Structure 1
Amino acid sequence: MPVTVGPYGQSQPSCFDRIKMGFMMGFAVGMAAGALFGTFSCLRIGMRGRELMGGVGKTMMQSGGTFGTFMAIGMGIRC
């Protein structure tokens, strides 16, 4: 299959590159949402100090991974 070329001689990103970019964008958005919701929920149940940082970090990674996976699937469908 030939590579599509843009108007100025630039090649378009491959499908794998688009999926990777979708995962990265979704991961970043999920991390931000996880920071907000994780901080609120951990403070609400009374966590402090190192326990708070661990709980927020865990929530951020889970949210980032989940949202990144769904964004990658969405970008894969669009290829």
Structure 2
Amino acid sequence: MPVAVGPYGQQQPACVDRIKMGFMMGFAVGMAAGAMFGTFSCLRVGMRGRELMGGVGKTMMQSGGTFGTFMSIGMGIRC
């Protein structure tokens, strides 16, 4: 199957590269959202110090992974 060429002669990224890029973009957005929501929820519960950092980090990783997974699925559908 021939590789698609863009308007100025450059090649389009492969489908696997697009899926990886979608995951990384989604992971970054999810980490930012997890930082905001995780900080708020941990402070509301009353966490402080090391416990706060662990709770916020856990929330950031969970939301980043979830949003990254859905973004990579969406990019895979577009391929």
TM over 0.5: yes
- Quote how far apart the aligned CAs of 1:69 are: 0.1
- Quote how far apart the aligned CAs of 1:5 are: 1.1
Instruction: Encode CA deviations 1:4-56: one digit per residue, 9 max, x unaligned.
Output: 11122200000001101100010000000000000000000100001100000
Report the 3-state secondary structure (helix = DSSP H, G, I; strand = E; otherwise coil) of the residue aligned with 2:12. Answer: coil
Instruction: List gaps (5 residues or longer) in structure 1.
Output: none
Higher deviation after alignment, 3-12 or 53-62: 3-12
Compute the RMSD of aligned alpha carbons: 0.6
1:5 has 2:8 as partner: no
Cross-structure match for 2:66:
66
Cross-structure match for 1:30:
30
Report the 3-state secondary structure (helix = DSSP H, G, I; strand = E; otherwise coil) of the residue aligned with 1:77. Answer: helix
% same residue: 91
Report the 3-state secondary structure (helix = DSSP H, G, I; strand = E; otherwise coil) of the residue aligned with 1:22. Answer: helix
Q: TM (normalized to structure 1)?
A: 0.97
Q: TM (normalized to structure 2)?
A: 0.97
Give the Cα separation in 2 of the matches to 1:7 and 1:69: 30
Segments ≥4 residues shifted beyond 3 Å = none
Instruction: List gaps (5 residues or longer) in structure 2.
Output: none
- Quote how far apart the aligned CAs of 1:68 are: 0.2
